[in-house]
Chains A and B, each alone.
Chain A
Amino acid sequence: GENVEQHPSTLSVQEGDSAVIKCTYSDSASNYFPWYKQELGKRPQLIIDIRSNVGEKKDQRIAVTLNKTAKHFSLHITETQPEDSAVYFCAASGRDDKIIFGKGTRLHILP
């Protein structure tokens, strides 16, 4: 079945700097890659997603890139702000439509 690896598990960046979270997936049939943000004590919320027929997608300060050949996808957050502090989960969905999540990255934005 699908396996999703996510790195790093913890990331600290200065406010205003960029943050990058990387994921790899195992099932070459995976075709949908969402990213979720979970603030402390709250539910995970979808922040951006990308499909396998697209290499990059941007939404304001957030961008996701996908390399199908290498089975890598990454989340990029530019000009980080205190409210970006949260746990971020990458995920992949493939032939059986179930979404498999990585173990999460705890992002700390330092003042």
Chain B
Amino acid sequence: KAGVTQTPRYLIKTRGQQVTLSCSPISGHRSVSWYQQTPGQGLQFLFEYFSETQRNKGNFPGRFSGRQFSNSRSEMNVSTLELGDSALYLCASSLTGTPTYGYTFGSGTRLTVV
């Protein structure tokens, strides 16, 4: 079965612009979580969506937002980009809202803000 698909793989944006990243979970998975990965900071939790509802949110500013569609695909949006937003953005899907079966991660979108 297809894995978790993230698009695009690479993105270069200018400060002040906005960006939308996409994540298609494994078929049948209803939960999608988003993480920001930067050197030295590890994987920082952004938010989690389950059945089109945001269930959890991390400690990121309101410039970071997301949504989930009825087919479980999720998008993440970052507005007014800052240089510090440059990172690898990973999404992870799980079968249920409870992560006790582990996550399956996508390959990520590498965002560079210049």
Which residues of A does B touch, CB under 8 Å? 6, 31-32, 34, 36, 42-46, 49, 51, 89, 91, 93, 96-104
Contacts and interface: CB of A to CB of B under 8 A. Distances in A.
A45 B105 contact: yes
Nearest to A90: B42
A67 B8 CA distance: 41
Give the interface residue-count category, chain B.
20 to 34
Nearest to B105: A43
B56 A96 contact: yes
A43 B90 contact: yes
Contacts of A49: 100, 102
Interface in B76-114: 90, 97-100, 102-108
B56 A101 contact: no
Contacts of A34: 99, 102-103
Interface of B: 33, 35, 40-45, 48, 55-56, 58, 90, 97-100, 102-108
Contact of B56 (A43, A45, A51, A98): A98
Question: What DSSP secondary structure best describes chain A's contact surface?
Answer: strand
A99 B42 contact: no
B107 A32 contact: no
A103 B90 contact: no
Nearest to A1: B59
A34 B104 CA distance: 12
Contact of B103 (A46, A96, A102, A104): A46
Contacts of A93: 99-100
A46 B102 contact: yes
Given A6-B42, A97-B99, A103-B42, 5 more contacts: A34-B103, A89-B43, A96-B55, A98-B55, A104-B42
Contacts of B33: 98-99
A103 to B, nearest CB: 4
Contacts of B97: 97
Contacts of B44: 101
Contacts of B108: 43
